Amino acid sequence: MNDAKDMRQSHLFTKTQKFAPKDEVSKNAQLLIRTGFVHKEMAGVYAFLPLGWRVMNKIMDIIREEMNALGAQEIQMTALQRKELWETTGRWDDAKVDVWFKTALKNGTPLGLGFTHEEAITAMVKPFVTSHRSLPFSAYQFQTKFRNETRAKSGIMRSREFIMKDLYSFSRDVIEHKAFYEKAQAAYERIFQRVGIGAQTYKTFASGGTFSKYSHEYQTVCDAGEDIIYVDEKRRIAINEEVYTDDVIADLGLVKEELVQKKAAEVGNIFSLGTKFSDALGLIFRDDDGENKSVVMGSYGIGPARLMGVVVELLSDERGLIWPQSIAPYQAHLINIGHNDEAEEFYILLRTAGIDVLWDDRKNVRPGEKFADADLIGCPWRVVLSDKTHEYGGVELTHRRTGEQTIVSIHGAITMIHQ
């Protein structure tokens, strides 16, 4: 492999498998393990292998672009958390939070592995917030979270160790907070469109706790989901079963008879936190009149791996994965049946044209096996060089999702892949 973009399948240390592990029940994990995208370390704990990590990075890049467009600043916080920090809000208590992984230093000092970071970021920003001029701002991270889930049966959609994008906003008052909150909603909707599940994803009203009337989840209709939602398909909003009452239906101006019950998977959530954490940890600022006031906060989460798992659940078929172009590990999968010199030239030409391409350059592998692997891996385009295509002076181009197949010139193939 000459550089990071150079990927010949003979160099890929992972291999496809005919069967998934017998103990794996979720479709997303079965397919991702068979294709060599992930490795199951134990129940609810998955490693991402080269192809899977490429998909994860493309998802995170989309999320990062949308968070940066909000003006949010990227940071990186620690997974190790101090007991005394979490005791200030009562969330160290296992009776209140039952998903902690707890450990200790050699001197006996107790520590926890962060399952979220509201307390940590509130304490961290205190030295930087003095007057009203310090606000508003927002910060986010991609950080490994640890949750000691009782059940971990949904593959990478519900893990005990996982990367989360968590963003936190800090505002002077509720009006300023609401303005950012609405912008964050729009950013989330763009993210789901860009990763290919926008049509199946609904803004869903859920419990707002003590801080606001509602929080908002983003729920994707999916048979593998663990939630029940009630959808108004015309207005493209939904209500989570937990708050599905006549009062809520009326408050949202919905008609009960027009709501459709669906199974769904939560792919994102946003919460108004009010001043709970700033009050507990003393995050205050001095306003124009010289009075001390608590900062108004919000929290906004998305799990990139959960997004990846939902895409697999929704878009795969009996032959394997089907990746949207925006997050596919490679845009094209090049297969040559003989014609090795031509294939290498075309491979270089594709890369020069800015196309990410996986080249199945393996020797002594039957064409049928190459085609089956290409279907299983699920890149958007399959490009074949063979005696037949050589005769026509072009390549055979097949679209993975639609199955449309055509023989086009090499430059025609580049144009179609770029569309």
Rg, C-alpha atoms of the chain: 24
For residues 335 and 9, what is the distance between their CA atoms, to the nearest angstrom? 10
Low-confidence ranges of the chain (pLDDT < 70): 1-5, 210-211
The pLDDT, as a whole number, for residue 343 is 87
* β-bridge mates for residue 186, sequence order: none
Map out the domains of the chain as residue ranges. 11-79+114-315, 330-418
For residues 43 and 114, what is the distance between their CA atoms, to the nearest angstrom? 19
The pLDDT, as a whole number, for residue 291 is 94
Task: Identify the DSSP state of 113.
Answer: E
Q: Hey, is 39 helix, strand or coil?
A: strand
Q: Which helix (H) or strand (E) holds 263?
A: strand 260-274
- Does domain 11-79+114-315 fall under CATH 3.40.640.10? My reply is no
Whether 11-79+114-315 shares its CATH topology with 330-418 is answered no
- Select the CATH number that applies to the domain covering 330-418 from these four: 3.50.50.60, 3.40.50.300, 1.10.287.1770, 3.40.50.800: 3.40.50.800
**Closest Cα to residue 51, out of 380, 373, 409, 328?**
328
Phi (first) and psi of residue 355, to 5 degrees: -100, 125
The pLDDT, as a whole number, for residue 1 is 35
The pLDDT, as a whole number, for residue 19 is 85
The pLDDT, as a whole number, for residue 5 is 61
Structure pTM?
Answer: 0.95
For residues 399 and 382, what is the distance between their CA atoms, to the nearest angstrom? 7
For residues 94 and 231, what is the distance between their CA atoms, to the nearest angstrom? 35
